[in-house]
């Protein structure tokens, strides 16, 4: 979706230009976060246009829960006997522990490109209605005391996995947002979340990891983009993209950084170079 200017007030005087710049930034972030909140609601029906994982990608965790690479057998007894489909017909595994099952980890190969999918990826339904990705190569490896996954690798794949988790909490209502804040996994120094009125959203909001992923990786600050193809009411389709900045904090790992310069929503004509389906 493209951003729209909704400011209908009179233009400020020339000596208020710096104040106007700050206002525009706040308005831009508010608009972007509001659009993102709509995009990220799990009730949106999406369909991936491009579905590729790269020749060297580890396989998705199959029905027997056996992942590729080393000692990565996943305990079948930790999940409900049968998985379920989500609205995009993806297989979702339902763990007996509402917080999710941490998968055994194996070291990925060297020199992975940023668009390479994490190994042994599987979607788990945590907290009742959040379909989030877990992997056998890039985490998560820990759960916080309040049940938020963490311990993602300092890689493009780890940043993408972490972003898929934390953005679901960000827009999941006051209770889910509180979990993210208490776990120390949200950076919002200017209080932009409060300005965007995310606390007014319903509690226990659903989340569904979007199928297309693109990571502009930097080991200190990465921009993770998620995409899907939306089916519009008039029968046409649009390729929607949301942008999530992720900052690395020593001792904590990846943290979602609320940033008006990096965060927002847009649309693209196609999912080309750099885009891939990871789950």
Walk along the chain (279 residues) and give the pLDDT tens digit of each residue. 323 333 333 333 444 444 455 555 555 555 555 545 545 543 444 544 433 444 444 444 543 343 344 444 577 889 998 999 998 899 999 999 999 999 999 888 788 999 999 999 999 999 999 999 999 999 999 999 999 999 999 999 999 999 999 999 999 999 999 999 999 999 998 888 888 877 778 999 999 999 999 999 999 999 999 999 888 889 899 999 999 999 999 999 999 999 888 898 899 999 999 999 999
The pLDDT score that the predictor gives to residue 111 is 86
Nearest CA-CA partner of 38 in 215, 175, 238: 238
Domain boundaries, the chain: 41-277
Q: Tell me the angle at which helices 156-170 and 174-182 cross, rounded to the nearest 10 degrees.
A: 140
Q: Which residues contact 14 (CB under 8 A, 6 or more apart)?
A: none
The pLDDT score that the predictor gives to residue 33 is 57
Nearest CA-CA partner of 244 in 199, 279, 209, 205: 209
For the chain, strand residue ranges (E) read 46-47, 84-85, 91-93, 122-126, 130-134, 142-143, 149-150, 186-187, 207-208, 212-216, 221-231, 237-249, 253-257, 264-268, 276-277
The pLDDT score that the predictor gives to residue 185 is 98
On whether the CB atoms of residues 160 and 215 are closer than 8 A, the answer is yes
Query: 175 is written with which tokens?
Result: 């209770």
Distance between CA atoms of residues 43 and 88, nearest Å:
11
The pLDDT score that the predictor gives to residue 70 is 43
DSSP states of 77-128 = GGB-SS-EE-TT--EEE-BSSTT--PPP--PPPTT--TTPPPTT-EEEEETT
The pLDDT score that the predictor gives to residue 197 is 78
Whole-prediction pTM: 0.81
Query: 21 is written with which tokens?
Result: 């710049």
Longest alpha-carbon distance in the chain = 67
**95 forms bridges with which residues in the sheet?**
79
Distance between CA atoms of residues 99 and 254, nearest Å:
19
Distance between CA atoms of residues 94 and 88, nearest Å:
16
The pLDDT score that the predictor gives to residue 48 is 40
The pLDDT score that the predictor gives to residue 34 is 53
Characterise 265 by phi-psi region: left (phi > 0), alpha (psi -120 to 50), beta (else): beta
On whether the CB atoms of residues 96 and 80 are closer than 8 A, the answer is yes
The pLDDT score that the predictor gives to residue 137 is 93
Give the Cβ contact number of residue 253 at 10 Å: 23
Nearest CA-CA partner of 265 in 243, 247, 236: 243
**Between vectors from CA 53 to CA 254 and to CA 207, what angle results, nearest 5°?**
50
Q: Which residues contact 241 (CB under 8 A, 6 or more apart)?
A: 225, 226, 227, 265, 266, 267, 268
């Amino acid at each position: 979706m493209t951003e729209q200017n909704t400011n209908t007030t009179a233009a400020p005087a020339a000596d208020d230009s710096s104040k106007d710049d700050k206002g525009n930034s706040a308005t831009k972030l508010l608009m972007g976060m509001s659009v993102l909140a709509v995009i990220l609601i799990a009730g949106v029906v999406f369909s991936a246009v491009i579905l590729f994982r790269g020749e060297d990608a580890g396989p998705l965790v199959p029905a027997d829960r056996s992942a590729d690479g080393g000692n990565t057998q996943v305990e079948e007894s930790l999940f409900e006997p049968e998985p379920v489909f989500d609205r995009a017909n993806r297989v979702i595994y339902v763990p007996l522990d509402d917080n999710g099952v941490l998968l055994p980890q194996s070291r990925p190969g060297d020199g992975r490109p940023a668009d390479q999918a994490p190994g042994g990826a599987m979607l788990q339904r945590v907290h009742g209605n959040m379909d989030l990705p877990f992997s056998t190569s890039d985490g998560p490896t820990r759960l916080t005391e309040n049940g938020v996954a963490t311990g993602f690798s300092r890689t493009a794949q780890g940043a993408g996995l972490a972003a898929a988790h934390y953005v679901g909490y960000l827009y999941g209502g006051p209770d889910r947002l509180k979990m993210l804040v208490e776990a120390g996994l949200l950076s919002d120094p200017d209080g932009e979340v409060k300005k965007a009125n995310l606390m007014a959203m319903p509690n226990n909001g659903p989340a569904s990891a979007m199928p297309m992923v693109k990571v502009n990786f930097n080991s200190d600050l990465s921009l993770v983009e998620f995409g899907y193809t939306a089916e519009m009411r008039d029968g046409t389709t649009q390729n929607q993209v949301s942008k999530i900045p992720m900052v690395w904090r020593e001792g904590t790992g990846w943290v979602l950084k609320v940033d008006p310069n990096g965060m927002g929503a847009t649309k693209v004509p196609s999912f080309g170079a750099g885009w891939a389906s990871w789950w």
